[in-house]
Structure 1
Amino acid sequence: MIQQDGSTNQGLSVGRKSLHVLMGDRFQKVLELIVFQSMDDKGWESTLHSIPRPDGFYDIEVIREGINGEEDLRLLDPVDAFYTTLCDTGDRIRPHDVFSFDGQKYNRDPAIR
């Protein structure tokens, strides 16, 4: 199950998606991502794709694009809890990530850039 929400505060809009899977008799959150940020005609957005694996699980590919081009791939608000799912050093947002399921949660593959 995919849940999507967002908020706007003082002109900054942020969107999030989370993925919940049925484990046993309850749903567990296995991935949560910020999928867009925008403010003052600047920002970025994400496209997510599921990629089947031979083991029956799916990887999730995230492609991020700046609204005005690559210069907009910057973190507009440092949200500490999501920093590592978005950024390299210097608040620069990675344009491409792949998250793989380990049986408990999705983790970013650090070799993918």
Structure 2
Amino acid sequence: MAAEVEACRNLLEQLNALAEQAMKAEIALVRTTRERICPVLSQQADGANANDHNETTIDYQALIECRRKAEEQLLRSRRVFYVNIQQFRFYTAAGAKLARQADGLMQQMQDQECPQLR
């Protein structure tokens, strides 16, 4: 039983690492697209993230709208390489490859009836 729990724990750690790497590729793509659409707002948001004591007031509703537009533009202009188990779209080949691997680990965890999935 302890060996099964350890195996599940290892699978979960691998899954989380792959998912994190896959998401980073997609976040970078959306960010680049957002920066093209709303350069000033993106710069303000990046500055606020870099410095918690930033005095600049950010229009978060505008930032949300800008991100939505960036995601819409990606959906119209780029091929979706993969849609994962959670229905998240991957527009980069690297992100899609990692997401497929993560989904494979998720399936392994389900097959092994890992308690982390219950």
State the TM-score, normalized to the length of structure 1. Answer: 0.25
For the pair shown, the structure with the greater C-alpha radius of gyration is 2
Q: Higher helix proportion, which one?
A: 2
State the TM-score, normalized to the length of structure 2. Answer: 0.25
| Bigger relative contact order (CA 8 A; separation at least 6) | 2
